[in-house]
């Protein structure tokens, strides 16, 4: 196996692409947390319409492949909007791909956040009610801070998943880590070295994050 093609220049190219992968994953995670919190509130609400909208969103995004969602958003959605707008529309691949993964992550985060909230002891809700706290105060001061501890560890796992999932964006031409490896491979007609290096970078990223996740988890459970 000849790793001489992995020049400093090529390695730097891959590291830069890895940064893009992580960057996209961070944005998607944050999008997912915001969306997931809103949708979890919808799923927990007694309002039938909110509940249905939230449930449909979660089921659609969890029930179809992420690859399909990304491709749909990039290739099919612009066609649909062109039809409605009456003139051709093109989507920016980076923005489209990021939003697609963010929406997908939101669906999964919804369930994480919902079960974290439902996991808080019923007595805590009642104690807050009995003291006359409003719904907003009860959630903000009593329930969410306790749910947070249960939600953080699975959210870190979600982040790891997202880093791996960003590789799907190579299919719509975004030069993230996966794409950078295939580009180098195509240049030299040698895929083994760049794909091996890319895999090693993915593994380093995910192992590092799960290491810190375990530390965080230990610290969060320490105050119990």
Partner 1 sequence: MIDLMGVSKSFGDVHAVRDVSLHVEQGEILCLIGPSGSGKSTLLRCINGLEVPEAGQVYVDGEPLAFGNPKLLQAQRTKMGFVFQHFHLFPHMTVLGNLTLAPVQVLGMDPQSAQNTALALLERVGLSDKRDVYPAQLSGGQKQRVAIARALCMNPEVMLFDEPTSALDPEMVGEVLDVMKELAQEGMTMLVVTHEMGFAREVSSRVLFLDEGQIVEENTPELLFSHPQSPRLQDFLSKVL
Shortest separation between residue 138's beta carbon and partner 1, angstroms? 9
Q: What is the SS3 assignment for 39-89?
A: HHHHHHCCCHHHHHHHHHHHHHHHHCCHHHHHHHHHHHHHHHHHHHHCCCC
**Region near partner 1 per CB under 8 A, out of 39-47, 52-60, 139-147, 173-181:** 139-147
Instruction: Give the number of residues in contact with partner 1, rule: CB under 8 A.
Output: 19
Count of residues making up the chain: 224
Q: Which residue has the tokens 């979890």?
A: 40
**Region near partner 1 per CB under 8 A, out of 43-51, 54-62, 136-144, 185-193:** 136-144
Binding-site member from 2, 132, 218, 219 for partner 1 (CB under 8 A) = 132
Tell me if 45 contacts partner 1 by CB under 8 A.
no
Tell me if 118 contacts partner 1 by CB under 8 A.
no
Tell me if 195 contacts partner 1 by CB under 8 A.
no
Q: For residue 61, give both structure tokens.
A: 């995004």
In Å, how far from its chain's centre is CA 136? 27
Which is nearest to 141 in space by CA: 151, 132, 128, 126?
128
Question: Which residues bind to partner 1, rule: CB under 8 A?
Answer: 121, 123-124, 126-127, 129-135, 137, 141-142, 145-146, 223-224
């Amino acid at each position: 196996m000849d790793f001489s093609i992995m020049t400093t220049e090529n390695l730097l190219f891959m590291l830069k692409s890895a940064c893009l992968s992580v960057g996209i994953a961070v944005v998607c995670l944050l999008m997912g947390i915001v969306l997931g919190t809103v949708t979890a509130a919808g799923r927990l609400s007694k309002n039938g319409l909110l509940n249905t909208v939230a449930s449909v969103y979660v089921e659609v995004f969890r029930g179809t492949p992420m690859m399909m969602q990304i491709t749909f958003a990039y290739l099919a959605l612009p066609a649909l909007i062109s039809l409605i707008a009456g003139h051709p529309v093109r989507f920016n691949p980076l923005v489209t791909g990021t939003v697609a993964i963010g929406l997908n992550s939101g669906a999964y985060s919804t369930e994480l956040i919902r079960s974290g909230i439902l996991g808080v002891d019923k007595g805590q809700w009642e104690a807050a009610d009995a003291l006359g706290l409003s719904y907003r105060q009860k959630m903000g001061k009593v329930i969410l801070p306790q749910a947070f501890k249960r939600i953080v560890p699975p959210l870190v796992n979600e982040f790891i998943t997202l880093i791996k999932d960003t590789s799907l964006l190579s299919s719509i031409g975004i030069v993230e880590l996966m794409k950078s490896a295939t580009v180098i491979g195509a240049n030299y007609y040698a895929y083994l070295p760049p794909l091996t290096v890319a895999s090693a970078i993915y593994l380093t990223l995910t192992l590092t994050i799960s290491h810190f996740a375990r530390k965080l988890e230990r610290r969060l459970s320490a105050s119990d």
